[in-house]
Amino acid sequence: MSKELAGREITKEFLLTYRDGLMQKYKPQTVNGNISAINAFLTFCGLPDMRLKLLKVQRQVFLEEEKELPKEEYTRLFNSNGID
């Protein structure tokens, strides 16, 4: 961000444009990490009203089917508890 700012004043418009640029290059989790760092800096500088909202990230509730264990493998692992 320091290159983009390069002596310019921090404005809400600049921050929103910067966030939009991040959104085009990175995944939402990465953008949120950057926004969190920027928000901490803004708070430190006494500019809490300039803080940006984090992106909403929907978490995947279920595993993809190919990542699931087949029932036979699950049963084998469950039954091999190591207790004789």
pLDDT at 82 (0 to 100): 58
Alpha carbon distance 48, 38 (integer Å): 11
Cβ count near 30 (within 10 Å): 13
pLDDT tens digit sequence for 18-34: 999 999 999 999 999 99
Query: What are the sequence ranges of the domains in the chain?
Result: 1-55
pLDDT at 81 (0 to 100): 73
pLDDT tens digit sequence for 45-66: 999 999 999 999 877 666 666 6
Token couple for 38: 């920027």
Query: What length does the chain have?
Result: 84
